[in-house]
Structure 1
């Protein structure tokens, strides 16, 4: 859409901070007040709006998109979003290992086992590892512990978790990211371990490279969103 405003400012609002365009408060796509919990996040979102040219391009405003998702799509659906996120624990990516070659098996163990150890310490969630792609049920206590961890998140952090899961396909990697146990780059490398191995052996086509670049950037935006919530 065409840019329809000249000035972008932040302002205190009930429950947090908001943006104004030419003095008028910004709303989410669902027409709800765009109020975020920290001044830092409001300032960063204002910078996104101020940086727009003649055309306003929502895809270039990831922080605004994440905040809007929190308000429109997560706040009133906490239980449903938590359930949809926690269910990834039932088929957790890092629990499914290659049967060959040995080099890949060893790399998976080296990078993924520490994450499983962290989950056991952090959440008392002891997940089982299997070789191959056949589904292996996880202990009920472990899944319950992971669900409890997800349930502790407010709408802002749950939005970040949901976004990270969509990129990585892993509940543990995403929880570690939200908990700041791993960086965005580390999370990407953990989630892309198998693909990275294949690229080393066979190379990478341009479509895959573009897709991975977008995913890496999206994870970085997610971490920045988390940082700005502090």
Structure 2
């Protein structure tokens, strides 16, 4: 399921899950010229559809691109409107996420839910450094409040470990989060949560953002505590900077979509 969700549009334009590699491939692939003058949101029976010059947009799987809220559809229309001479899917993260939801997640939402739960079993926030003290303190400061919220708001407790040695999580906690996710079966919402989870390595961070407990910047910073520590001490190369920027763009697109769908 993760392979399907990585790049459902897979074709020639979105051919690699790594954002930098995908951009490199994209630069070698001729992009279609912008063929429309206007992108608009049109209400209808299926929700709010995106139209280009009066014609409805469809997903790669030929489904009508219609969203349940006008605000969500407007995000996609804005991405189409922002295209200039060519249409570059790499610069349209909300559209790619919506296509994934409508063509992939809608067909098997349970598989996506279960994949999110697999992340819970090895969640980033549960694996702590044994040193140096500065890193340990930083992890505690960013991660402990999220675990406290999960325990207080959802009733799920998680075990912590030092290093990379696997720690078993209580089945009851995983079941609680499964029940929580089952109340959010909408394909667009699940797709956004799954994308945030895979980009951060933490389903708990993704759920905290989805519930409004953390804002997007706080979650992104929490997900990169270890990486930022390494950067501060050893520096960072240009390719890593570009990869992180593209991943953050996709993460923020998922957050914007969730906000447009409503809590």
Same fold by TM-score greater than 0.5: yes
**Unmatched 5+ residue regions in structure 2?**
1-31
Q: Any conservation in 1 of the 2:116–2:197 contact (CA below 8 Å)?
A: yes
Q: How many positions carry a matched residue from both structures? A: 230
The aligned residue for residue 229 of structure 1 is 261
Match of 1:123 in 2: 154
1:37 shift after superposition = 0.6
Is residue 186 of structure 1 aligned with residue 237 of structure 2? no
Among 175, 185, 196, the alignment partner of 1:144 is 175
TM-score by length of 1: 0.95
Alignment of 1:109 onto 2:140: yes
* Separation in 1, partners of 2:82, 2:134: 46
Matches within 5 A, 1:40-59: 40-59=71-90
In 1, Cα distance between the equivalents of 2:34 and 2:140?
51
RMSD: 1.3
Match of 1:35 among 62, 66, 84: 66
Structure 1 counterpart of 2:205:
173
Q: State the TM-score, normalizing by the size of structure 2.
A: 0.84
| Aligned-residue offset at 1:197 | 0.9
**Residue 215 of structure 1: how far off its partner (Å):** 2.0
Q: CA deviation at 1:130?
A: 1.2
Within-5 A mapping of 1:74-85: 74-85=105-116
Matched residue, 1:89: 120
Q: Which residue of 2 aligns with 1:204?
A: 236
**1:20 aligned residue (37, 51, 54):** 51
Work out whether 1:7 is the aligned partner of 2:38: yes
Offset at 1:9?
2.1
CA distance in 1, matches of 2:225, 2:112: 27
Matches within 5 A, 1:57-68: 57-68=88-99
Q: 1:216 aligns to what SS in structure 2?
A: helix
State the partner residue of 1:156. Answer: 188
**Contact 1:185–1:216 at 8 Å: present in 2 too?**
no
| Partner SS state of residue 48, structure 2 | strand
Deviations along 1:145-175, whole A, 9 cap, x unmatched? 1111222212121111011012101110111
| DSSP 3-state at the match of 1:121 | helix
